[in-house]
């Protein structure tokens, strides 16, 4: 009997909520379209970001998101972001922002290239700003509405490798990537070259372990296990290009250092100054992505946008080295800065 009453009560509740909802539904009909962007001179420009990383990953996702926010705040743009988007959903997400009339769709990474080219074909009026794209992408876009912003990944690798070569005690350094993107491979190549070169200048033979790839920017647990296994192989300076995976690696390094009672394994962060986020970070390779995004916004505002590529190097100030931790001895800091001057002047390894 109790059950019957319960069942009836539930049915009643369902019917009541139906009634309540019916009212709610009818009230929404007459509401007019209040949202109007307004045309003319005080048009509010809008930029949308699509990323497969999480914007709270404390690494690539966070930094590239902040770059957009900073640029948008500076120029008075509205911004939106869709993060942790699966690769299979890039196209849909881009297209849905285009449908909503965004002026710029911004995507930080080379992995978006194919989806961007597809969507750019269908939405000639929307500008696509891709950070870290490939050189050839803008030419492939039929409508000329794709711009790639190109921080020199090789140079980023160099500057990290110099410090790694100077700092390593075990003469073994490691690199963790997420996906074998051109830019990630560029960073690794530069890292390897300069770590070996600088090691030789210092009279030691530095081994750069083969890069490892997690296949996924959000797999922080893989970062933990990767770093542990690489430390087993003797690596004592890490550099990475893998979003939340980097954060996982730093956690494992910090744990190792705590267990050892001293900081003996280091990490070099990128692409913003992350010094202090983890104990093991000794320096960051900083890319001023926000100035790149801002350049793109400016050209859209002025109507001068014409696609193509913008480069960022140490030479033109888009790339720089972040603050150096006290863990790095004074004489090494001096050597490091001397090498950086060479990179800026274009004389490094020549």
Q: Which of residues 266-325 bind other proteins (CB under 8 A)?
A: 277
Report the b/e string of 209-238 with b at 16+ CB within 10 A.
bebbbbebbbbbebbbebbeebbeeebbbb
Chain positions 133 to 172 lying near other proteins, rule: CB under 8 A, are: none
Q: In angstroms, what is the minimal distance from the CB of 251 to other proteins? A: 5
Angstrom distances, CA of residue 343 to CA of 158, 194, 282, 328: 8, 11, 20, 20
Q: Which is nearer to other proteins, 179 or 321 (CB)?
A: 179
Q: In angstroms, what is the minimal distance from the CB of 177 to other proteins? A: 11
- Among residues 60, 72, 105, 110, the one that binds other proteins under rule CB under 8 A: 110
Q: In angstroms, what is the minimal distance from the CB of 178 to other proteins? A: 10
- Among residues 42, 125, 210, 326, the one that binds other proteins under rule CB under 8 A: 210
125 binds other proteins (CB under 8 A): no
Q: Which is nearer to other proteins, 224 or 282 (CB)?
A: 224
Q: Which is nearer to other proteins, 83 or 202 (CB)?
A: 83
33 binds other proteins (CB under 8 A): yes
Instruction: Tell me whether residue 30 is exposed, middle or buried, using C-beta atoms within 10 angstroms of its C-beta: 0 to 12, 13 to 18, 19 or more.
Output: exposed
- Among residues 70, 154, 171, 225, the one that binds other proteins under rule CB under 8 A: 225
The SS3 call for residue 310 is strand
* Contact range with other proteins by CB under 8 A, out of 31-39, 143-151, 190-198, 331-339: 31-39
DSSP codes of every residue in 16-36: HHHHHHHHHHHHHSS------
Q: In angstroms, what is the minimal distance from the CB of 277 to other proteins? A: 6
Phi-psi region of 144 (alpha: psi -120 to 50; beta: other; left: phi over 0): left
Closest CA to 273 of 336, 320, 312: 320
Q: Which is nearer to other proteins, 252 or 314 (CB)?
A: 252
Binding mask 70-99 for other proteins (x = CB under 8 A): ----------x-x-x-xxxx-xxx-xxx-x
The SS3 call for residue 214 is coil
Q: Which is nearer to other proteins, 66 or 342 (CB)?
A: 66
Q: Which is nearer to other proteins, 15 or 349 (CB)?
A: 15
223 contacts: CB under 8 Å, gap ≥ 6 = 176, 214, 240, 242, 244, 245, 246, 247, 248, 249, 250, 251, 252
- Among residues 218, 270, 287, 290, the one that binds other proteins under rule CB under 8 A: 218
* Contact range with other proteins by CB under 8 A, out of 108-116, 165-173, 299-307, 340-348: 108-116
């Amino acid at each position: 009997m109790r059950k019957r009453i319960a069942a009836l009560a539930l049915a009643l509740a369902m019917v009541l909520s139906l009634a309540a909802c019916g009212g709610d539904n009818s009230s929404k009909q007459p509401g007019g379209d209040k949202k109007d962007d307004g045309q003319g001179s005080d048009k509010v420009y809008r930029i949308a970001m699509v990323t497969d990383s999480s914007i709270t990953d404390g690494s690539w996702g966070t930094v590239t998101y902040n770059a957009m926010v900073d640029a948008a705040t500076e120029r008075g743009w509205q911004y939106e972001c869709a993060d942790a988007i699966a690769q299979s959903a890039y196209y849909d997400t881009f297209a849905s922002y285009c449908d909503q009339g965004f002026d710029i769709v911004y995507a930080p990474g080379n992995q978006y290239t194919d989806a961007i080219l597809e969507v750019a074909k269908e939405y000639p009026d929307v500008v696509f700003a891709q950070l870290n794209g490939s050189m050839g992408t803008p030419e492939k876009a039929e409508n000329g509405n794709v711009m790639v912003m190109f921080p020199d990944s090789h140079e980023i690798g160099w500057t990290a490798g110099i410090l790694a070569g100077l700092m390593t005690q075990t003469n073994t350094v490691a690199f963790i990537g997420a996906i074998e993107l051109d830019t990630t491979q560029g960073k690794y190549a530069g890292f390897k070259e300069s770590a070996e070169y600088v090691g030789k200048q210092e009279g030691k033979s530095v081994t750069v372990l083969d890069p490892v790839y997690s296949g996924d920017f959000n797999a922080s647990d893989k970062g933990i296990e990767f770093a542990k296994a690489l430390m087993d192989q003797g690596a004592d300076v890490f550099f990475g290009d893998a979003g939340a995976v980097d954060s996982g690696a730093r956690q494992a390094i910090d744990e190792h250092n705590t267990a050892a009672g001293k900081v003996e394994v280091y990490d070099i962060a990128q692409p913003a100054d992350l010094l202090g986020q983890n104990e093991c970070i000794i320096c960051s390779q900083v890319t001023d992505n926000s100035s790149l995004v801002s350049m793109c916004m400016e050209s859209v505002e002025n109507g001068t946008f014409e696609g193509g590529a913008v480069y960022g190097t140490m030479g033109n100030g888009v790339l720089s080295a972040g603050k150096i931790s006290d863990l790095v001895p004074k004489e090494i800091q001096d050597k490091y800065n001397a090498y950086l001057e060479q990179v800026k002047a274009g004389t490094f390894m020549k």
